Structure 1
Amino acid sequence: MDLELDGTSALVTASSSGLGKASATALAREGANVVVNGRDEGRLAEAVDEIDAVGDGEVVGVQGDLTEKADIEHLVERTVDEFGGIDTLVTSAGGPPSGAFMDTDDEDWYEAFDLLVMSAVRTVREAAPHLKESDQGTMTFVTSRSVKEAIDSLVLSNSVRMAVIGLEKTLSQELAPEVRSNAVLPGPHETSRIEDLVEQAVDRGDYDDYEEGLADWGDGIPLERIGDPMELGETVAFLSSPKSSYINGVALPIEGGAGASNL
């Protein structure tokens, strides 16, 4: 299916690794010009090279910290300077530390809010005028299945990410019809973070090999496996395309059917 993204411009935050990188890769494969963002200069350069190798569009890396307002402003300005506008915005961010409620202090809460919520707020604030000028402006927020069901020892993610969904739903009304806003709620995917966790467990002797550890992560998921990051990335590309033109204000779980929530 041609998603009709050839020649469009996309900004994907926190995209030098993980699900952000998969989203940027999927958009590039569809011919979009993509700005890739990350804090680590070396990792960002590697990601740009990898994504550029699979896509037909231009791929540009812009270093920046999403908790810094000035960095976000520069990120959006650079995207517009490079590509003449923004058609697609995908917001992603790293996860806050795990921990139980009584083990988190005020600083933990403020840092999580700044990372997950204010990064999205500031990016949208800067990008929205450009998205409204596009004839196919879209925003997709990469959050977590924790907004549907609380996950043990993830009180910060369970609580703070809910604000991103409230933002996404509000924007789907305030910015429509010029801009569509949706969210994806990923469960476990085989990112470098999970790879590291499984490899550490193998080293500890918890599993005989990597495959056994990975299979254990898929235990309880009806599809009997965790996700491939590109499965999420391709969903983001679809939501960013005219092929999904009547989808707006949706929070889509991508977790192989693991969730027990009816809605």
Structure 2
Amino acid sequence: MDLEIDGNAALVTASSSGLGRASAKALARDGVNVVLNGRDEERLADARAEVEAVAEGEVVVQPGDLTEADDIEAMVERTVDEFGGLDHLVTSAGGPPSGSFLDTDDEDWQQAYELLVMSVVRLAREAHPHLAAGEETGTIVNITSRSVKEAIDDLVLSNSVRMGVIGLEKTLSKEFAPDIRANAVLPGPHETSRIQDLVEAAVERGEYDSYEEGLDEWAGNPLERIGDPMELGNTVAFLSSPKSGFINGTAITIDGGTTGANL
């Protein structure tokens, strides 16, 4: 299906690995010019090579820390300077540390808020005039977690702080419309490098006999498998395209049916 986004420009944060990288890859495959972001320049170089292998548009990298306002401003400026505008913003960030409520101190809470919420606030603020200036409707897609639908044990920071992103996304879907649409995706476990590392470490500790056995432990859903990161990336690309033109202010759970919430 032609998503009709060829030649558009996108900034995808935390795209040196994981679901951010998959989203950038899906957009680039459909002809979008993409700016990749991350803090580790070596991982960014690897991501660029992988994305360029399928890209129909241009791919550039912009290192930066999502908790630094100046770095966020530089990401948006680089996108506009390189491609003459910004049509799509995809926000992603690494997850906060796990832990229970009583094991989490004030500094943990503040760091999680800066990373997960304030990064999106600053990105949306910086990107707004450019997203609104295009001939077509601009888009924002926030990658968060299924934890906003159903709390996950020992993830108090993710369960709590990510809810702020959903409240912001819903607000922007009204305040920025009709020039910009805002949506979110709520992933469950996908076979990213982080999960691969966790499973391989568990195999080394003798908890599983094989990688496949360990991976099956993450597949607690009706589809009986873990997600492919590109399945989420494809959804992000769709939400960034005119093909999803009447979808606005929604949060789509992508977890194989794990979450038990009705809404």
- Place the TM-score, normalised by the shorter chain, in its bin: over 0.9
| Structure 2 segments unaligned to the other structure (5+ residues) | none
Query: Equivalent residues in 2 for 1:28-67 (5 A)?
Result: 28-67=28-67
What is the identity, as a one-letter code, of the residue corresponding to 1:61?
V
Report what 1:230 is aligned to: 230
Report what 1:210 is aligned to: 211
Query: Equivalent residues in 2 for 1:1-263 (5 A)?
Result: 1-134=1-134, 135-219=136-220, 221-263=221-263
Q: What is the SS of the residue equivalent to 1:211? A: helix
Alpha-carbon distance in structure 1 between the residues aligned to 2:90 and 2:189: 19
Q: What is the SS of the residue equivalent to 2:163? A: helix
The aligned length equals 262
RMSD value, Cα: 0.5
Alpha-carbon distance in structure 2 between the residues aligned to 1:148 and 1:258: 11
1:136 offset after TM fit, Å? 2.4
Alpha-carbon distance in structure 1 between the residues aligned to 2:188 and 2:210: 23
Q: What is the aligned-residue identity percentage?
A: 73
What is the identity, as a one-letter code, of the residue corresponding to 2:97?
P
Q: What is the SS of the residue equivalent to 1:133? A: coil
What is the identity, as a one-letter code, of the residue corresponding to 1:165?
I
Alpha-carbon distance in structure 2 between the residues aligned to 1:80 and 1:141: 20
Alpha-carbon distance in structure 2 between the residues aligned to 1:203 and 1:123: 40
1:53 offset after TM fit, Å? 1.2
TM-score by length of 2: 0.99
Q: What is the SS of the residue equivalent to 2:53? A: helix
Alpha-carbon distance in structure 2 between the residues aligned to 1:203 and 1:45: 29
Alpha-carbon distance in structure 2 between the residues aligned to 1:196 and 1:52: 24
Q: What is the SS of the residue equivalent to 2:217? A: helix
Alpha-carbon distance in structure 2 between the residues aligned to 1:175 and 1:230: 28
1:217 offset after TM fit, Å? 1.1
Alpha-carbon distance in structure 2 between the residues aligned to 1:42 and 1:216: 31
Alpha-carbon distance in structure 1 between the residues aligned to 2:140 and 2:256: 23
Alpha-carbon distance in structure 2 between the residues aligned to 1:36 and 1:27: 11
Alpha-carbon distance in structure 2 between the residues aligned to 1:50 and 1:189: 18
Alpha-carbon distance in structure 2 between the residues aligned to 1:82 and 1:136: 20
TM-score by length of 1: 0.99
1:46 offset after TM fit, Å? 1.1
| Structure 1 segments unaligned to the other structure (5+ residues) | none
What is the identity, as a one-letter code, of the residue corresponding to 1:166?
G
- Partners of 2:191 and 2:226 within 8 A in 1: yes
Alpha-carbon distance in structure 2 between the residues aligned to 1:37 and 1:216: 31
Q: What is the SS of the residue equivalent to 1:90? A: strand
Alpha-carbon distance in structure 2 between the residues aligned to 1:186 and 1:256: 9
Q: Deviations over 1:15-36 (max 9, x none)?
A: 0000000000000000000000
Q: Runs ≥4 in structure 1, deviation > 3 angstroms?
A: none
